[in-house]
Structure 1
Amino acid sequence: MQEYKSKEELIAEIKKTADAFIMEFDSIEEADKDKILEGVDRSPAQMIAYQLGWMNLLMGWDRDELAGKEVVTPAAGYKWNRLGGLYESFYRQYEDCTLCGLRGLYRDCVAALIQWLELFSEEDLFGQEIRTWASSTPSKWPIWKWVHINTVAPFKTFRSKVRKWKKLL
C-alpha cells in the first residue's frame, strides 16, 4: 500500500487521483450512464455513486464519533464480509441523478473530504487509535490508511474500469 510522509502529500494524491478519475467521465453520454457492459461490473453512474458512498461514510463515521454517537462500521445493517448490499444502497441513493449531477456531487464531496482532512494534525492523521471508528477492526488502521483505501486506491482502480467500459461501448 502506498505510504505518505505528510498530510499535504496525502491530500495532493487525493486531488490528483480524484481529478483523473472524474475526468474519465467527460466523454460519456448521459444516455449511457447506467449501462453495465460485459467485463465491467458497474455502470458509470454506479462507479461514481460508489466513490460518493465511501467518502461520505468516512466523514460520517468521524462526525458521529465526535458528536458522541455510536459509530457502526461499515454502516447500520451491513457487515464487512457482505458489502454488496451496501454498494447497492449507494447506487439507489444516487440513481435519479444525471451524470453531470453525479460529477458535481463528486467534486463537492472531494472538496469536503479535503477540508475534513485539513482539520487533522499530522499526529491525529498518522497516529494509532486516534478515533474509535478507525480502530474498530483488528488491523487498527490509522485514519490516513482508511482515507487512502477509500479514496486514492479506488480512484485508481475505477479509472481503469471506466477506460475498459469506454472501450467496450
Structure 2
Amino acid sequence: MSIPQNKDELLNAIETAFSKLAEDLRKVPADVSGLPLMEGHSKGELMSVSNLVAYLLGWNRLVLKWLERDEKGEPVDFPETGFKWNELGELAKKFYSDYQNVPFADLVDRLCQAKNRIIVEISKRNNRKLYEKEWCGKWTMGRMIQLNTSSPYSNARNRLRKWLKNLAAQ
C-alpha cells in the first residue's frame, strides 16, 4: 500500500489495514494468545500475540495523547515522556507490561476502540493540518499518525499470519 498523501487516503489506509488485522486476530485461540512464541520487537526476544496487541494499543494511545496535547496547544513529547526514539524496544516492553493482566479479547476490544477514536480525531482535522506542515521533525501529523497506525497494523498482520501458519503446522 502506498503512503497516504491526504486525509482520505490516511483514513482508508487505517481502516483497510485494521480490518485485515482484525480478521486474523479473530483466528487466534485465546488459550495460546499469551504464549511467547513470536519474534519480539527487541532483537533476540520473544513475544506473545497478546504482547503484539498491547504494543499496537500502546502506540494507538500515544497517537491519541499526541493529538490531544496538540489540540490543547501543549508541547508533544515524542515518542513518549521518558523515552527517546532510540529506546523503542524499552517502550515496547512498557506496553507489554502495561497490559499484561488484560485478557486477550479485552485487549483486542481496546485496540479497536483506540483505532476508532483515532479515526474520529483525524476526521476533525483538514488536509492542511494533517499534511501541509511539519509536526514532528520533518514529519507531518498525517505521516506520524500513519507511521503509528496503519503501518504497524500491516506489520503486525504479517507477523500474526506467520505465527498462525506455524501454529497450524504443529
Corresponding residue number in structure 2 for 1:11: 11
CA contact (8 A) 1:37 1:168 kept: no
* Structure 2: gaps (5+ residues): 41-45
Q: Quote the offset at 1:39 in angstroms.
A: 4.9
Identity of aligned residues (%): 26
Q: Does 1:70 align with 2:68?
A: no
CA distance in 1, matches of 2:53, 2:39: 18
Structure 2: which amino acid aligns with 1:146? M
Q: Quote the offset at 1:123 in angstroms.
A: 0.8
CA distance in 1, matches of 2:47, 2:24: 15
Q: Does 1:93 align with 2:91?
A: no
CA contact (8 A) 2:79 2:85 kept: yes
Structure 2: which amino acid aligns with 1:144? G
Q: Quote the offset at 1:45 in angstroms.
A: 0.6
CA distance in 2, matches of 1:53, 1:30: 20
**TM-score normalised to the size of structure 2?**
0.87
* Structure 1: gaps (5+ residues): none
Corresponding residue number in structure 2 for 1:113: 118
Structure 2: which amino acid aligns with 1:53? G
Q: Quote the offset at 1:38 in angstroms.
A: 5.7
SS at match of 2:87: coil
RMSD after superposition: 1.8
Per-residue CA distance 1:58-105 (angstroms, 9 max, x = gap): 120121233343321111111111111111111111111111111111
- The correspondence for 1:54, drawn from 56, 59, 62, is 59
**TM-score normalised to the size of structure 1?**
0.87
